[in-house]
Amino acid sequence: MSNEVISIILGGGAGTRLYPLTRSRSKPAVPVAGKYRLVDIPISNCLNADLHRIFVLTQFNSASLNQHIKNTYHFSHFSKAFVDILAAEQTPDNPTWFQGTADAVRQTIRHLENYDYKYILILSGDQLYQMDFREMIRNHIEKGADISIATIPVHAREATEFGILKTDEENFITSFIEKPKKELLPDWTSDTGPDMERAGRNYLASMGIYIFNKGLLYDLLHNQPDATDFGKEIIPNSIGERKVLSYQYEGYWTDIGNISSFFEANLELTDDIPQFNLFDDAKTIFSRARMLPPAKISGTTLEKTVIADGCIINASRLERCVVGIRTRIGKGTTISNAYLMGNDKYQTLDEINQAKAAGRPPIGIGDRCYINNAIIDKNACIGNDVRINGGKHLEDGDFEKYTVKDGIVVVKKGAVLPDGFQC
């Protein structure tokens, strides 16, 4: 079965809702959980399901994503496995960039002509979940579906943010509405099963995960040349005309659509039993293998904190924090409710002394700092006695060194915060 499937991961648009994390990188390249990239999630779900032929479609700020994939996903010379980038390109037949999810696949599908496959699995590059795609593919084949859509039961308060659908007794989709208004919701409840209904999850939402039969996808993209998006055009137009099947998933899934959802998804990893389980051998999350030393911690009280490789931590206290690779934190510093993305390199002692002599903080976080409700992007240089106190008391805004969204302070990649800086 796995040899009959090609997987396509959509890199997404400009990622404006994740700005400033997407200022110099694409959404799939945003660091997550201290040592991974978002694109590692769908790739790992594919590899764990023995789906080894994967294309990643990119358009915006793709250099770091290309580098990550090149340095990470290596397979045997005797294997047909690959993870390849398909970047947006202008051709004599099509001089435009990708206009949407369906248009991205339409413009790149010609690169799949030399491969033998029956089904195309289409995934998003900015979601956090652990799904066995083999079950979804098996269900698609057994039911004789033309298209399958992964769906998840959601609460009424979430339903207005998703495409909501209804099914018949055999789980074939009969109707679909994109982001329904609140007053329309009573007409869109579904039988989601006793466990989901007890939890108040009565609406079936599309997860943006699709399986298409090969020939059908070619026909749909060719016959609807003006349709640019799967969720808004291709899928709704197919309901009633094709056998469109719902595959209901009830595990953990979150769409990393904005700073708030990204922030909470990372901090939830510090829970005693997180819903997204990084410690499951059967659902390994793969990423770049770095030859880093173990983390070194001195005099620090740790509470619900995840620490990646290669960190040097002398802080007083860390509480509900995700600490990324190579993070350096000075003495007397207290950090809570924060995601520290870490650093791309270590500075030598000479470089640290030169930075201090020039009045510039070294890479990392200095002494006696207080940081709360914040994301510190990579390679930030934060001096001594810096105070960052995020919360609802702060108005949203974009500033030279940081951005505030929903009370979360996001210190920009490579930003320099001098001694005594406050925000």
Domain locations along the chain: 2-270, 291-417
Residue 92: its pLDDT value, please? 59
Side chain identity at residue 88, one-letter code: A
Q: Mapping DSSP to helix (H, G, I), strand (E, B) and coil, where does residue 415 land?
A: coil
Contact 217, 174 (CB under 8 A): no
Asked if domains 2-270 and 291-417 share a fold, the reply is: no
Please report, rounded to a whole number, the percentage of residues in the chain having pLDDT higher than 90. 75
Contact 182, 155 (CB under 8 A): no
Contact 315, 301 (CB under 8 A): no
CATH of 291-417, one of 2.160.10.10, 2.120.10.30, 3.40.50.300, 3.40.50.1000: 2.160.10.10
Strand duo 312-313 + 119-124: pairing: unpaired
Confidence of residue 232 (pLDDT cuts 50, 70, 90): confident
Least confident of 33-37, 194-198, 263-267, 313-317: 194-198
Confidence of residue 79 (pLDDT cuts 50, 70, 90): confident
Closest CA to 17 of 420, 396, 419, 423: 396
pTM metric for this prediction = 0.93
Residue 257: its pLDDT value, please? 80
Whether pLDDT at 42 is above 70: yes
Token digits for 150?
A: 């992964």
Confidence of residue 89 (pLDDT cuts 50, 70, 90): low
Rounded to 10 degrees, the C-alpha dihedral 13/377/318/348 comes to 150
Instruction: For 233-249, write each residue's pLDDT tens digit.
Output: 999 999 989 999 999 99
Residue 17: its pLDDT value, please? 87
Confidence of residue 91 (pLDDT cuts 50, 70, 90): low
Averaged pLDDT, 157-177? 93
The length of the chain, given as a count of residues? 423
Helix residue spans in 188-287 (DSSP H): 194-198, 214-223, 235-238, 259-267
Whether pLDDT at 97 is above 70: no
> Residue 23: left (phi > 0), alpha (psi -120 to 50), or beta?
alpha
Residue 102: its pLDDT value, please? 87
Averaged pLDDT, 307-333? 98
Residue 76: its pLDDT value, please? 85
Instruction: For 322-355, write each residue's pLDDT tens digit.
Output: 999 999 999 999 999 999 999 999 999 999 999 9
> Residue 406: left (phi > 0), alpha (psi -120 to 50), or beta?
left
Please report, rounded to a whole number, the percentage of residues in the chain having pLDDT higher than 70. 97
User: Domain spanning 2-270: which CATH class is it, in words?
Assistant: alpha beta
The single-letter DSSP state of residue 172 is B
Q: Mapping DSSP to helix (H, G, I), strand (E, B) and coil, where does residue 259 land?
A: helix
Helix%, strand%, coil% for the chain, nearest 5: 25, 30, 45
Instruction: For 105-156, write each residue's pLDDT tens digit.
Output: 888 888 888 889 999 999 998 899 999 999 999 999 999 999 999 999 999 9
